[in-house]
Amino acid sequence: MASDGQWHKVIIKRRGKFLALAMDNGEGPRYSETQGPDYGHHLMPIKNDQIYAGAALTYTHNTITISNEKDLNSTCLNDIRLANSWFPMTAGESQQNVNIKLVNEKEVTDNCVRNDCDNSPCRPPFVCRPLWEKYECVCPLHYIKQGSTCVPYDYCGIDTPCHPDAECVNDPTNDYGYVCNCHSGWEGRTCYTLAIVDTGSAGVGAWIVAPILVILLICKYIY
């Protein structure tokens, strides 16, 4: 279960008794699968005339009771699909979909915005990270917690990202958190790229071409 205030993509696939659940491309703890019980059904008929999302349903003698309060509370849904067919989420989208229509919606509001960090609940140097109906106080980017404060992360420690001959300087204001000062002949963000030296119009290139022309002229007169 994810409850971090961020959007996630969840895909459910079923083939026979096999069922797979993947979130955000599904790797490691974000992927789960089951082969199903030995007595499980290989087919799962889906009644396509009415499909509900975000509500708990109770079936009693062909009567459907919708219990919104028992399912998705204070939760956001977007881009629901079945067999890659998208479901309209608003009346405007319903007019764009000729195959699927939005019939009814209850206790649903547009947009999905919360302001859990509006009151600046964290004391500097910590910053507020919204987690949907809650928050946590964390160190800014390129900083780590040390005791009761935040200190710059040491990118230039043992595993420095810079070339061994370059000078690594921690810089939390930089996008990468560090700066590599390259020695002569090297360039690039981590100083692993050979620098191109401009030798001028009469440099090495000209001296290489000249002997070739001389050899060609000599060969012409010999033959």
For the chain, the structural domain boundaries read 1-45, 139-223
Please list the residues that pair with 90 across neighbouring strands: none
Distance of CA 83 to the CA centre of its chain: 24
Confidence of residue 154 (pLDDT cuts 50, 70, 90): very high
What would the pLDDT profile of 59-115 be if each residue is shown by its tens digit?
Answer: 777 777 776 555 677 788 888 888 888 888 888 888 888 888 888 877 777 778 788
C-alpha angle 65-80-78 in degrees, rounded to nearest 5:
100
The predicted model gives 109-138 an average pLDDT of 89
Structure confidence at residue 100 (pLDDT): 84
The predicted model gives 211-218 an average pLDDT of 46
215 DSSP assignment: H
Place of tokens 């043992």: 158
- Which of these ranges, 26-40, 140-154, 204-218, has the smallest mean pLDDT? 204-218
CA distance 95 to 132: 32
Fold of 139-223: Laminin (2.10.25)
- Left if phi > 0, otherwise alpha if psi is -120 to 50, otherwise beta: which for 142? left
- Is-cis flag, bond preceding 125, omega within 30? yes
Higher-scoring residue by pLDDT: 219, 41: 41
C-alpha angle 58-61-66 in degrees, rounded to nearest 5:
25
Residues 26 and 41 sit within 8 Å (Cβ to Cβ) = no
Q: How far apart are the first and last CA of the chain?
A: 85
This prediction's pTM:
0.56
Residues 138 and 127 sit within 8 Å (Cβ to Cβ) = yes
What would the pLDDT profile of 4-59 be if each residue is shown by its tens digit?
Answer: 778 899 999 988 888 899 999 888 888 999 887 777 777 766 666 677 777 777 77
pLDDT exceeds 90 at position 182: yes
